[in-house]
């Protein structure tokens, strides 16, 4: 019998640690530590990605997995002009379309800074449009209209050489059109009139796949820039499907519907000769928008409509094919707090955190310590209170301000307490007593910002003042530009590099989206949060340029329907979405950093704890067996 050396010209190497380079793919080695033969193998899989901010179906899209755009689409309330951009980790707000519409198409081979959207439907029923818009990565510009009104078509190509095929006008059409970067012109018709198919490739080597004719179609037609020719059919007939690819021979299709409205999770790849089925999607949404440019090894699918329970989807999934396994970022359940509590203050990291005080019916002095595996009792605060500000670490923490009882007209507090890892000691009070206060920095260089001062009649007064702590006393800092309280904050160890997000103002009862950064002297207004929220994590995990903020309330009154699972990341300039919390809640505690966050407690009263782990990538090492 031939040996491995005789076949491959080399011996199987023995190692105690598995190789970690992609160049080792296909090799076989013997791991002496596990007493097994192993190899790195290629896989194909979909994984959950950060959701879009606005759930929608029938949007247009283009770009690559790490620089993707969706725009327009259908909402429960009608059509939208909203645009979002994906950076490989999360979705951020882009420029709005000039023409509000859904059922439009984009050039799947376009780029974030050179995109194109065209056609579509501007209202329920049929109100088609020929509007065409180009995107430069910041704003949309209206350019020359399409030659023929059409929606639900398939489109692809690039900004200066695009094509449209099929669609409805409002009946199914065999229309095709070409765009040369300036003008549209009608081209030769496709062979089978249908709508809801997807386009892939470029103008001189494209495909129009699937769609709805008299029923779901598996038909695929190829385009050479002049003529449409029947090609190999899809393995599964479907319409309103997603797909893409910047070459005809590296195309991909996924999802879609069959008669009766059932969603399909199937994915098919094209190699220029035939279609083959690969990994199924996790989402059952149809009418998804996609962004696949380049070989069909890395892409993203977004949004859509789900039949059961019926509703618009905000989900995203990434497709990857290669030797690496990508584990998406996610929140996961962790050991629960000893008791349900809200308005709790958080300090520390994911594996060394404190949950301080809060409200459980009465206010409490209780402090719990988390080591990454379990919560345990820690020394109690000297003063019972909720809605405190906090900063520092689990062995050098600081809490300040807050409220006692009775609720809701509780007196605000100015007490400051330091923790040395063994006990709490009272320090100099805040200059201005306040509750629902926020903080950042360290125990010896900390900031207390905003908060609520005593009630004035039915209203609560929100000071815009900042105080700075030097380890022994508080002094005045800069004033905020937007008056509010119940803000979230980040800036774990730097008095001179803090940031606050969102909040609540009363009167008037508003939930602002304002973001402000602090340099140790003054506050500067920067880009708004993607959506207004208040009373999120008591101490948002992270730093001024790398923060994670989660939970809270997105509207008034602060009641159960308005609790959110929303999670955002902030990079010092822009916000983007991240995977949502598993539990809707506000007034929760938070700790950690942007790739390793911790959420605990919250309102409605809960003892639930969740850990956030950022996306990871690892080589797909498999143990070889005889079976």
**CATH topology of 45-322 equal to that of 333-613?**
yes
pLDDT band at residue 613, thresholds of 50, 70 and 90? Answer: very high
Q: What are phi and psi of 81, to 5 degrees?
A: -110, 10
pLDDT of 4 higher than 60: no
Tell me which of 194-208, 390-404, 456-470 is least confident: 456-470
Per the model's pLDDT, the better-predicted residue between 603 and 42 turns out to be 603
pLDDT for position 6: 46
Judging by beta carbons within 10 Å of its beta carbon (0-12, 13-18, 19+), is residue 106 exposed, middle or buried? buried
- Greatest extent of the chain over all pairs of C-alpha atoms, in Å: 93
Label residue 185 by pLDDT band (50, 70, 90): very high
| Of the listed ranges 78-82, 223-227, 286-290, the one predicted with least confidence | 286-290
| pLDDT tens-place string over residues 588-605 | 999 999 999 999 999 999
- Examine the pLDDT at 263 and tell me if it is beyond 80: no
Residues of the chain with pLDDT > 90: what percent?
Answer: 63
DSSP for 293-343 reads -SSTTEEEEE--EETTTTEE---EEEEEEESEEEEPPEEEEEPPPSS--BS
List Cβ neighbours of 513 (8 Å cut-off, separation of 6 or more): 502, 528, 529, 530, 531, 532
pLDDT of residue 5: 47
- Average confidence (pLDDT) over 233-262: 87
When the pLDDT of each residue in the chain is averaged and rounded to a whole number, the result is: 88
| Whole-number pLDDT of residue 294 | 52
Domain 333-613: give its CATH superfamily.
Kelch-type beta propeller (2.120.10.80)
Q: In this predicted structure, which of 31-35, 127-131, 455-459 has the lowest mean pLDDT?
A: 455-459
**What average pLDDT score do residues 451-455 get?**
75
CA of 97: how far to CAs of 82, 94, 258, in Å?
A: 7, 9, 31
Cβ–Cβ under 8 Å, residues 301 and 50: no
Q: Encode 357-399 in three state secondary structure.
A: CCECCCECCCEEEECCCCEEEECCCCCCCECCEEEEECCEEEE
- % the chain with pLDDT above 70: 91
Mean pLDDT of 481-496: 87
Give yes or no for residue 261 having a pLDDT over 90: no
Residue reference for tokens 């939208």: 80
Determine the average pLDDT of the residues in 17-27.
66
pLDDT tens, residue by residue, 306-317? 887 888 999 999
pLDDT tens, residue by residue, 409-433: 667 899 999 999 999 999 999 999 9
Q: Is domain 45-322 classified as CATH 2.120.10.80? A: yes
Sequence ranges of the domains in the chain:
4-41, 45-322, 333-613
Give the strand order in the sheet containing 488-490. Answer: 488-490, 498-501, 515-518, 523-526
User: Which pTM value belongs to this model?
Assistant: 0.85
Does the structure show a pLDDT above 50 at 7? Answer: no
């Amino acid at each position: 019998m031939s040996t491995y050396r005789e076949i491959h010209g080399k011996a199987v190497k023995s190692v105690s640690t598995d190789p970690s380079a992609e160049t080792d793919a296909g090799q076989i080695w013997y791991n002496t530590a596990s007493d097994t033969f192993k190899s790195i193998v290629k896989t194909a899989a979909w994984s959950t990605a950060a959701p879009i901010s606005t759930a929608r179906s029938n949007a247009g899209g283009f770009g690559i997995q790490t620089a993707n755009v969706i725009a327009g689409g259908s909402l429960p309330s009608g059509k939208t002009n909203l645009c979002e951009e994906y950076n490989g980790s999360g979705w951020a707000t882009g420029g709005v379309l000039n023409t509000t519409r859904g059922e439009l198409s984009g050039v799947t081979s376009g780029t974030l800074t050179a995109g194109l959207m065209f056609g579509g439907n501007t209202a329920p029923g049929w109100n088609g449009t020929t509007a065409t818009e180009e995107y430069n990565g910041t704003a949309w510009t209206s350019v020359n209209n399409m030659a023929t009104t059409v929606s639900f078509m398939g489109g692809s190509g690039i900004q200066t050489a695009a094509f449209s095929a099929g669609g409805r006008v409002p009946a199914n059409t065999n229309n095709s059109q070409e765009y040369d970067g300036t003008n549209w012109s009608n081209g030769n018709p496709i062979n089978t009139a249908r709508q809801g198919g997807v386009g892939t490739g470029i103008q001189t080597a494209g495909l129009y796949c699937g769609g709805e004719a008299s029923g779901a179609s598996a038909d695929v037609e190829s385009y050479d820039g002049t003529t449409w020719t029947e090609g190999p059919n899809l393995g599964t007939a479907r319409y309103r499907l997603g797909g893409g690819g910047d070459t005809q021979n590296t195309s991909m299709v996924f999802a879609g519907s069959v008669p009766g409205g059932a969603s399909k999770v199937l994915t098919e790849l094209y190699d220029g000769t035939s279609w083959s089925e690969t990994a199924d999607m996790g989402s059952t949404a149809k009418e998804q928008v996609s962004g696949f440019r380049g070989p069909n090894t890395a892409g993203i699918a977004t949004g859509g409509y789900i039949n059961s329970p019926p509703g618009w989807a905000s989900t995203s999934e990434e497709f990857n094919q290669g030797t690496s396994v990508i584990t998406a970022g996610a929140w996961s359940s962790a050991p629960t707090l000893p008791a349900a509590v809200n308005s709790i203050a958080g300090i520390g990291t994911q594996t060394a955190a404190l949950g301080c005080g809060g409200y459980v019916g009465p206010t409490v002095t209780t402090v719990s310590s988390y080591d990454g595996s379990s919560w345990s009792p820690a020394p109690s605060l000297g003063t019972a209170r909720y809605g405190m500000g906090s900063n520092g670490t689990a062995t050098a923490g600081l809490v300040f301000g807050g409220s006692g009882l009775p609720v809701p007209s509780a007196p605000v507090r100015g007490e400051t307490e330091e923790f040395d890892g063994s006990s709490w000691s009272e320090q100099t009070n805040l200059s201005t007593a306040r509750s629902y206060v926020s903080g950042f920095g360290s125990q010896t260089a900390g900031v207390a910002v905003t908060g609520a001062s005593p009630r004035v009649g039915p209203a609560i007064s929100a000071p815009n003042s900042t105080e700075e702590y030097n380890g022994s006393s508080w002094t005045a800092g800069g004033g905020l530009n937007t008056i509010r309280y119940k803000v979230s904050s980040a800036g774990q160890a730097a008095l001179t590099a803090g940031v606050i997000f969102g909040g609540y103002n009363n009167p008037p009862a508003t939930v602002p989206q304002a973001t402000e950064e602090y340099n140790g002297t003054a506050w500067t207004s920067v880009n708004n949060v993607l959506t207004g929220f208040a009373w999120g994590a008591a101490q948002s995990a992270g730093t001024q340029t790398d923060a994670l903020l989660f939970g809270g309330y997105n509207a008034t009154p602060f009641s159960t329907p308005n609790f959110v699972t929303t999670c955002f990341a902030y990079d010092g300039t822009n916000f983007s979405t991240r995977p949502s919390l598993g539990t809707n809640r506000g007034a929760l505690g938070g700790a950690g950093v942007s790739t390793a966050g911790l959420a605990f407690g919250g309102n409605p009263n809960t003892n639930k704890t969740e850990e956030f782990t950022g996306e990871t990538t690892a080589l797909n090492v498999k143990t070889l067996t005889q079976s």
